[in-house]
Structure 1
Amino acid sequence: MDARLRDLLPELVAIRHDLHAHPEIGREEFRTAALVAERLRGWGLEVTERVGGLGVVATLRGARPGQRAIGLRADMDALYIEEATGLPYASANAGLMHACGHDGHTTMLLGAARLLAERPDFGGTVHFIFQPAEEGRGGARAMLDDGLFERFPVDAVYGMHNMPDLPLGRFAIRPGPFMAAGDRWTVTFRGSGGHGGAAPHLSTDVTVLLAQYILALQTIVSRHVAPVDTAVVSVGALQGGSLGATNVMPAEVTLGGTNRTYRPEVRDLIENRMRELAAGLAALAGATAEVRYDRRGPPLVNHAEPTASAVAAATAVVGAEAVDPDAPPVTAGEDFAHMLTARPGAFIFLGNAAGRATSSGLHTPTYDFNDDAIPYGVGYWLALVAKEMGGG
């Protein structure tokens, strides 16, 4: 299908630019989901909308006999980031942008769906899964709760994400733990507050307590997690007092952050230790502590056989020298992990090294998906279907 893909590429690039110019936050991807469904129907696929909210699933049955079924998943949502690329197709929606490349992910899966619909030379069924709300808004869990794999049964499910620090034309994957569980938390300390100049000795100074807690957090990984285990505890937000009244000691301060782990035991240890430190330090200071801990996605764990299929498919596209089958794990989180707890599957990284001066890292105001990666992503999906279900 190389020649057909080359012919189709300008149309796919136009779709990607259109999606980029009209980003939508998770659970609000109304235009994106409608565009995806309209295109898929126009290409002759069976389309089901509003799966788990705004999810779209398209089904294609092969022309050859076969009972195997697989799912191919792409995410559709954008982020609360103000775009600063200056591109002609930059975001038209203030405060929102496709800063993670989901516009590219959606486009590549659409391209694969179109080419396979034109030539369904495989045996079995392919379900193209377009997921909303990947960026921390529970889209995968919502689709699963809506009976995703009961309504669209699969023997394996596959996902893919672009990586700007991986050279264009390369793939990276590993069996086992590949991405981390991502948790979020807040801790609020409450005391009496008071006048910082006239009567600090009569006040419960929660700002000192806040500082002590931040320093104590740094001992969790260094002194409680085994050196062979990977874990991250990071503070990302602080709130307390007013710069308009700096002589006032606040009665309440809050900090929040994120944790990353791979093993359930380490995840439990960190949460428990955070709670113990907050309660203990607050008691010593005569204050109170409220800890809110939100466990987000589980670790993303690739299954052995689907990972081998993914490696074979990537190798068919770019050659063995451009595929890393034992890439180091990363501590970023990924909502697709929920799907891998429900069905066997594998998640792969696609090289998306910057193709223009304005492009940078994921989740930054100057990021832009590299259109040169589109043929590699489409090619990977096609090769994966051929590997899993025959044809070619």
Structure 2
Amino acid sequence: MPVLNRIADYAEEMKTWRRHLHMHPELAFDCHETAAFIAARLREIGVDEIHEGIAKTGIVAIINGQGDGPTIGLRADMDALPITEATGADHASTVPGKMHACGHDGHVTMLLGAAKYLAETRRFSGRVALLFQPAEEDGGGGQVMVQEGVMDRFGIAEVYGIHNAPNVPFGQFQTTDGALMASVDTATVKVTGKGGHGANPHECVDPVVAIVAMVQGVQTILSRNLYALDEAVVSVTMIHTGTASNIIPEDGMFCATIRCFRPEVREMLRRRFHEIVEGTAAAFGVRAEIDYDWGYPATINTPEKADFAARVAAEVVGEAAVDARSPREMGSEDFSYMLEARPGAYLFMGTGPGAGLHHPAYDFNDEAAPVGASFFARLVERAQPLAG
């Protein structure tokens, strides 16, 4: 596998970086120690500019190439998850209840490795903007960075990102043109009736039977309102009500995650969810309060940028290890906001066998970091080549 030789030389240093980050996980926007570590490495590397405090703890670093040209953005998310680690590794999390269970420590390491190579060689024109983003898991840090103007402020013309993929063959890249990951919305419904003794239901307005009907009703959206060739998910994931076997409760609640790929489908799902819940509430004589949280949009690659990124990946790992038309998936990602703001592409990179993402036994494969760093570096050199 032709990892760039110079980046291969950084492998042990990159492992040290990654394991330090793994031992010191931080959540959401509160990535203060993580940002300080990244900024210190960037100063050692010798980037030209470091801009801190973007989206609270995010960083944008600039590396100038040789001669005029556009600015290409490379993004790595850096937050962890509220999970207790169960790897047993020597470099396991030192923070109770927090761990890098999604590999963002690896993402940061890959981008730092690419930064070191690009700052040393500078075999490209224009500039590179390195985007270290907090709060991908919770809070939409990608959206906040865009809202704070990073694309315009730094003149970013196109933007790219990678996510590690455990249990995908090591070094295999996967992407597609158009929609790659789904939008995600969350509905929380509180249902209020009139409680009382379970022996006298006629004296009550039972929220339990209303919730059951609502849950059954919203499942019909996919079978009766969605065009058969579209794709969407409506999954009810929580139901809470009741305190005892002989009491009809006063109220109850349920939650659902709602996912799709097209804006018009997303709006239809929202509309029908409200209509079904509100109509069922009227039929059962209960009150329903719906909190419908409009979450991350679909992650939609620019077709020509996805094709370009796939060709670059093939230079690093070989054509046989690149799937440029991989199936899209129902997971979500706030890199979507950056792709709404600028052309670009998002890719998955296989890291081989291991525990899945968000599992307490997950650990990023350190051997994958030089592969991802080589992809980022080669991407810049191919997108913005030196003048002949």
Task: Look up the equivalent residue of 1:368 and give its one-letter code.
Answer: D
CA contact (8 A) 2:193 2:250 kept: yes
Segments of structure 1 that go 5 or more residues without pairing to the other structure are none
1:24: which partner in 2? 26
Q: TM-score, normalised by structure 2?
A: 0.96
Identity between Structure 1 and Structure 2 (%): 44
Partners of 1:352 and 1:205 in 2: how far apart? 51
RMSD (Å) for aligned C-alpha atoms:
1.4
| Correspondence for 1:59 among 32, 57, 62 | 62
| Correspondence for 2:382 among 359, 379, 387 | 387
Query: What are the superposed Cα offsets for residues 246-302 of structure 1, whole Å, 9 maximum, x if unpaired?
Result: 322111111112111111111111111111111111111111111111111111111
2:215: which partner in 1? 214
Partners of 1:152 and 1:142 in 2: how far apart? 15
1:247: which partner in 2? 246
Query: What are the superposed Cα offsets for residues 130-172 of structure 1, whole Å, 9 maximum, x if unpaired?
Result: 0000113120111111111121111110011011132101101
Task: Look up the equivalent residue of 2:342 and give its one-letter code.
Answer: R
Partners of 2:300 and 2:246 in 1: how far apart? 51
2:103: which partner in 1? 101
| Correspondence for 2:372 among 374, 377, 382 | 377
3-state SS, counterpart of residue 126 of structure 2:
strand
CA contact (8 A) 1:169 1:351 kept: yes
2:38: which partner in 1? 36
Tell me the CA shift for residue 7 of structure 1. 2.3
Task: Look up the equivalent residue of 2:355 and give its one-letter code.
Answer: S
CA contact (8 A) 1:191 1:251 kept: yes
CA contact (8 A) 1:182 1:259 kept: yes
Partners of 1:350 and 1:391 in 2: how far apart? 27
Show the 5 A alignment for 1:363-374: 363-374=358-369
Tell me the CA shift for residue 391 of structure 1. 5.4
Query: What are the superposed Cα offsets for residues 59-81 of structure 1, whole Å, 9 maximum, x if unpaired?
Result: 0001x223121000000011111
3-state SS, counterpart of residue 346 of structure 2:
strand
2:124: which partner in 1? 122
Segments of structure 2 that go 5 or more residues without pairing to the other structure are none
Q: TM-score, normalised by structure 1?
A: 0.95
Partners of 1:277 and 1:18 in 2: how far apart? 50
CA contact (8 A) 2:29 2:55 kept: no
3-state SS, counterpart of residue 325 of structure 2:
coil
Aligned residues: 384
3-state SS, counterpart of residue 272 of structure 2:
helix
Aligned: 1:2 with 2:22: no
CA contact (8 A) 1:312 1:387 kept: no
Aligned: 1:234 with 2:220: no
Partners of 1:177 and 1:288 in 2: how far apart? 37
Aligned: 1:321 with 2:320: yes
Partners of 1:303 and 1:248 in 2: how far apart? 55
